[in-house]
Amino acid sequence: MNCEYKYRADELKTEYLKEWWNTSAEFPVFDKTYSPECQKSAERKMDSVIDQLLAEVRMNPGSIQKDYSAWGLRLRNLLCVIGDEILELGGTGTEILLKGGYCKVTSDFIDKARSFDSSIKTADILQAMRNAWIMNCIQVLLGREVEFTPAMFAYSMLYPYTDNYLDSMDVSFEEKQRFGDRFKLKLAGKPVKAKNTYETRIFKLVEMIEAQYGRDSYPQVYEGLLAIHDAQQKSLRQQKGLLSPYEADIPGISFAKGGSSVLADAFLINGILTEAQERFMFGFGIFLQLSDDAQDVEIDFKNRHMTMFSQTAGKWNLDSVISKLLNFMFNLIDNDKCFISPEMMEQKRLIRSSCIFLIISAAANNSRKYSKEYLKRLERYSPFRFSYLRKLYKRAGKEFYSLFEKNDTVPMDSIIARALSV
């Protein structure tokens, strides 16, 4: 038993809050600009690739038993065009995503999710997969093989089950708290009975983690799970309607939730971490949490869920906050001295470029929350014009969603994931 281990989430939260306030809110320095001509060219290519992808998906083999390696190769080639020619990920970024084990993990994850819960929705699987992909990134950073693990599946699946429940407007604040108390007992290894089918599934997921990481040998794993649970419970305060900055520590709540989540990811990958690894993972988690909040600012503002972005959007535009977030991310990745092997450096480069596109897209899709001058300036660093980017998200979301939600014998997501992993 590791009796000397000290869980550092509170310490790291304090460090990063100080770092956040010291981070510049000036417009960030980007590596590359895009002319309107380049953007229009990329848009034409993207429209063509989307048309081809939709055509390929509509003519899928239809059975998971069929040989569809040629079909999968065509899908991969189209995705390579997006990564290499349109988004210009550069280096081995596209290869990492399509050939580095990510597709096999995706296929295994989807199969396991549907066997675990036959009623699960595709949207919930994709939500869980997002965390699994983050864990794949962490596997590369920690020098481990990119692979599917029981702990990865279990922790990632807790997201659609617990997050959606805690975010639901149909469940009372009091019931959410009671569920949280029972869930905490389970995470702490205390005897507790599931109240319903929903809780039975959640408790089974915890037991999957226990089977991979014994509590006595890996106490930090369970400290991490309890920390993210505590952060989730505190985040319920964000749902109490409009709050001034003096009524609740919204930055502290967001930093604790995001940082603890990815720190838990890392412990579930490696079992143990160095202090430098812990610090990077906590910071990475903060960035991802704030990125989510930036993407959801319109919905959160409408539902009166208080985040750093929705709280700001009620009074001011988000120009300085999004600049600060980008600079925070640049400082985290560019100043890191922990992950320095060629493979780790390439993964960080891919994370950096992906995060830039993520934040720029968040601004484009929530344009009413930013000044026109800021959006015009930011648009120069996007591979697409913002007007096109908004249309792209709507089109891709609508058309691919309808295909993925078709009630086929074999779900579309399973077929595509399996084909890409061949």
Mean pLDDT of 266-291: 96
Give whole-number Cα distances, 52 to 55, 64, 66, 384, in Å: 5, 21, 21, 19
Residue 342 burial (10 A CB sphere; 0-12, 13-18, 19+)? exposed
Rg (CA), the chain: 21
Q: Structurally, how many domains does the chain consist of? A: 1
Q: How confident is the model at residue 3, as a pLDDT?
A: 46
CATH number at residue 182: 1.10.600
Q: What is the rounded CA–CA span in Å between residue 332 and residue 284? A: 7
The number of CA neighbours under 13 Å toward the Cβ of 286 is 30
Please indicate, yes or no, if residue 402 is contained in any of the structural domains: yes
16-36 confidence digits (pLDDT tens): 999 999 999 999 999 999 999
Question: Does residue 241 belong to any structural domain of this protein?
Answer: yes
Q: State the Cα–Cα distance between residues 138 and 34, nearest whole angstrom.
A: 30
- Contact status, residue 123 vs residue 411, Cβ threshold 8 Å: no
Question: Which whole number is the average pLDDT over 222-240?
Answer: 81
Q: Which domain holds residue 196?
A: 9-24+36-421
Q: Which pair of tokens denotes residue 146?
A: 């990119």
The answer to whether position 370 is within a domain reads yes
**Residue 422: pLDDT over 60:** yes
**Judging by beta carbons within 10 Å of its beta carbon (0-12, 13-18, 19+), is residue 237 exposed, middle or buried?**
middle
- Cα separation, 49 vs 162, in Å, equals 36
**More confident site: 400 or 219:** 219
The verdict on residue 30 lying in a domain is no
Q: Is residue 97 part of a domain?
A: yes
Tens digit of pLDDT for each residue in 338-350?
A: 999 999 999 999 9
Query: What is the token pair recorded at 347?
Result: 């993964």
Residue 1 lies in a domain: no
Distance of CA 422 to the CA centre of its chain: 25
Within a domain: 253: yes
**What pLDDT shows up at residue 238?**
59
pTM of the predicted structure, to 2 decimals: 0.91
**Paired tokens of 59:** 């003519």
Residue 231 has pLDDT above 90, yes or no: no
DSSP at 81: I
Q: Which of 355, 336, 354 is nearest to 345 (CA)?
A: 336
In a domain, 80, yes or no: yes
Residue 197 corresponds to which tokens in the numbers above?
């089918």
Q: What are 232-264's pLDDT values in tens digits?
A: 878 776 566 666 666 778 999 999 999 999 999
pLDDT at 73: 85
Per the listing, tokens 């000044």 go with: 371
How confident is the prediction for the chain on average, in pLDDT?
Answer: 89
Contact 154, 208 (CB under 8 A): yes
